[in-house]
Amino acid sequence: MTEATAASTIKKTIDVTQKKIQKTPQWLMRFLIWRERHIKEKTFVMILAFVVGLLCGFAALVLKWLIHFIAGQLTGHASINEGNYIYLIYPVIGLVLAGLFVRYIVRDNISHGVTRVLYAISQNKSRLKPHNMYSSLIASSITIGCGGSVGAEGPIVYTGAAVGSNLGQLFRMSPRVLMILVGCGAAAGIAGIFKAPIAGLLFTLEVLMLDLTAVSVMPLLIASITGATVAYVFTGYNVEFDFTQSELFLTQRIPFVIALGVFCGLVSLYFTKVMNMMENFFRKRLGTPLRRTIVGGSILAVLVFLFPPLYGEGYGAINGLLDGDTSSIVNGSIFYSDGHNAWFILGFIGMIVLLKGFATSATNGGGGVGGTFAPSLYVGCMAGFFFAFLANHLGLGLDLSTKNFALMGMAGVMAGVMHAPLMAIFLTAEMTGGYSLFLPLLIVSTISYVTIKFFEPYSIYTMRLAQRGELITHHKDKAVLTLLKMDSVIETDFLPVRPEMNLKEMVDVISRSHRNLFPVIDGEGKLLGIVLLDDIRNIMFRPDLYKRMYVSRFMSMAPARIEVGQTMETVMKVFDDTGAWNLPVVENGKYVGFVSKSKIFNSYRRVLRHYSED
C-alpha cells in the first residue's frame, strides 16, 4: 500500500460520502437537522427501538401466518392412519422454489441468518442489505410450509436485525447505535414469534453477544416488549405450547435431572457435529446448486416420509408430547399400526433425535432457508421424553413425568446447541408457562451447557466466524481487536532501501526520513530484511566506510512478518511472542508497510471509547 494508494482510498471514501449526502431527500435532511437540535440521541434511539419492535412484531406474525397457511393447504387432507406419499414430493418442491427465489430474485446468500447477523456486527459495522428485511421471510415460509425441517426463528432474527440496521442507516446513526438497533430487531423478532420478551433480550446478550450497558438495556427491553405485545394483541394471551403440569416435581428426582443435563449436553454435541459434517459435505462435495438440491431434497423427502414429525418446524409433535399424547407421534406414517407398542414408540423417537440434524442440514444444504433454533427445541423435547420414557421402562427409579422431562429437555438441548443457558431457561418457561419447573430447568440448562463446553467452545452459530477470527465476544479485548481492521493500522511512510546501496546512500535516505527503521527490498518489491538506525549509528558518521559498507552487510532480519489478512488478535500474539515494537507487513512476500504497537493501541482506545460510550 503506497501513499498514492492511501490517498486514492481516502478520496474515494469522501466521494462516496458526498454522493450519499446528495442522494438524501431534502425532507430527510431537514428532519435530521431538526432531530439533532431538539431530540437527544438516547431519546431518539428509544423511539427507533419502539418502531423496530413494532415492525418486527408484525413481521413475526406474517411469517407464522404464511408458514401455517402453506402447510395447511398442502397437508390439510393428509391421512393420519397410513403413510402419505405427498411427503416425498412437497419438501422437494419447497427446496426448489426457495432455491430459485434466492438464486434469481434475491441473488444473495441468505442462509445461516444468525451467523450473518454476527458477521455484520463484527465485520460490516452492523450494516445489512435492504432485501434482508423481506427475503428471508419469504424464502423460509416457502421452505418450512412445504416441509423443510428447519425453524423460522433464524430467518426472523435476520429479518429483524435488517429492519433495525436499515432504519438506523436511514437516519444516519453511528455504527455504535446501529449495533444496538440490530440487537433490538433480533430481540423483537424472537419476542414476537415466541411471545417471549425476556428471551428476546437474553438472545441478544448471549447469542449475538451485545454488551448489557446503560445505553443498550432500555432499547432492547422496549423492542422486545413491543414485539411481544404485537403478538399478544393479534393472537391472544396464550403461550406457544400448551403445557399443564399435572405432576409435581419432587426433590428425589434431582439426580435424574442432573443426568438429563449431561444427556442433553451430549445430544447437543451430536446435533452440532452432524450439522457441521453435513454442511461441509454439501459445500465441498456437491459443487453445483442442482446437485445440492437433488441430494438435499432426496434425503429430506425420505426422512419426512418415514418420520412425518420431521415435517416443518414439528411443533405439533412437541405439543403432543407435552400433552402426554405419545401415540400421536406416529400419525401419518407407515408405522401407524405400531403406535401402541411402547418400545416401538421409544425407538421411533430415538431415531427422530438421531436424524433431525440430517433433515435440518439437508434442508439448508439443498437450497432451503431456515434456522436451527426450532430444531434444537424439537430435539430437546424428544430427547427429554426419550430419557424419562426409557428410565421408567427400565425401572431405574421413581416414576418420571415424561411431560416434565420433555420440557426440561427443550431447555437443555437449546442451552447446549446455542451456548445460551439463560435464554434457554426463560424461553422454555415463557413459551410453555412452565415456571413451576424453574429449578429443574436451571439445573438441566446449566449442566448441558457445561457438558458441551468440554468438547466444543463455540455455539452452532459462532463457530464459523470463530474459525476465521471474525467473531465479537464478551471478552472486551478480543471484541475490540475484532473490530479493528488491518488496513487501518498499517503505516506506509517508511523509506525503503536496497541491499546494493552503500553507506553514503543509506545516510542520504536517513536524512530524508523521520523514522528510525528502514525496510530492505529487492527490485521486485520483496522484503529482504530491515535496517535499524541504532544498529548503524556507530558507523554512519565515518566517511571512510561510505564506499566500502553496503546495506546487505549491516541489515538484519525482522523478528517476524505480518501477513495481510491476519486477524488483529493474531497480530497482537506475534507482538507478544517477539517483544517487537514494529513489524513489517507483507503480501505474498512483497513489502506493504509496518504495524506498530503504538498505532494499534491508539486505534484500540479509539474503538473502545466509540463502542463503550454511555
Using 50, 70 and 90 to split pLDDT, how confident is the model at 608?
low
Residue 132 DSSP class = G
Residues 6+ away with beta carbon under 8 Å from 242: 319, 322, 323, 432
Q: Which of 166, 207, 215 is nearest to 52 (CA)?
A: 166
More confident residue, 192 or 467: 192
Q: Decide if 301 contacts 99 (C-beta within 8 A).
A: no
Q: What is the pLDDT of residues 345-354, one digit of tens each?
A: 889 999 999 9
The pLDDT assigned to 76 comes to 81
- What percent of the chain has pLDDT above 70? 86
Q: Which of 458, 325, 432 is nearest to 377 (CA)?
A: 432
Q: Is the pLDDT of residue 7 over 80?
A: no
Using 50, 70 and 90 to split pLDDT, how confident is the model at 600?
low
Joined grid coordinates for residue 596: 506498530
Q: What is the pLDDT of residues 507-536, one digit of tens each?
A: 888 888 888 889 999 888 888 888 888 878
CB neighbours of residue 187 within 10 Å: 39
The pLDDT assigned to 1 comes to 42
Q: Where in the chain is the domain with CATH 3.10.580.10?
A: 478-612
3-state SS class at 519: strand
Between CA 117 and CA 196 the distance in angstroms is 20
Using 50, 70 and 90 to split pLDDT, how confident is the model at 115?
confident
Average pLDDT, the chain: 83
Using 50, 70 and 90 to split pLDDT, how confident is the model at 465?
low
What's CA 546's distance to the chain center, in Å? Answer: 60
CA distances, 296 to each of 93, 299, 573 (Å) = 12, 5, 42
Q: Where in the chain is the domain with CATH 1.10.3080.10?
A: 26-235, 251-471
Residues 6+ away with beta carbon under 8 Å from 243: 322, 323, 403, 407, 432, 433, 434
Q: Decide if 585 contacts 564 (C-beta within 8 A).
A: yes
More confident residue, 231 or 216: 231
Is the domain covering 26-235 a CATH 3.40.50.720 domain? no
Q: Decide if 459 contacts 206 (C-beta within 8 A).
A: no
Is the domain covering 478-612 a CATH 3.10.580.10 domain? yes
State which fold the 251-471 domain adopts: Clc chloride channel (1.10.3080)
Using 50, 70 and 90 to split pLDDT, how confident is the model at 111?
confident
The pLDDT assigned to 452 comes to 93
Q: Which residue has the cell 444427556?
A: 263
pTM: 0.76
Q: Which residue has the cell 419447573?
A: 437
Between CA 287 and CA 335 the distance in angstroms is 36
Q: Is the pLDDT of residue 302 over 70?
A: yes
The pLDDT assigned to 602 comes to 63
Residue 103 DSSP class = I
Secondary structure, 3-state, 210-273: CCCCHHHHHHHHHHHHHHHHHHHHHHCCCCCCCCCCCCCCCHHHHHHHHHHHHHHHHHHHHHHH
The pLDDT assigned to 466 comes to 58
3-state SS class at 2: coil
The angle that helices 568-578 and 597-612 make with each other, rounded to 10 degrees, is: 140
The pLDDT assigned to 9 comes to 44
The pLDDT assigned to 105 comes to 92
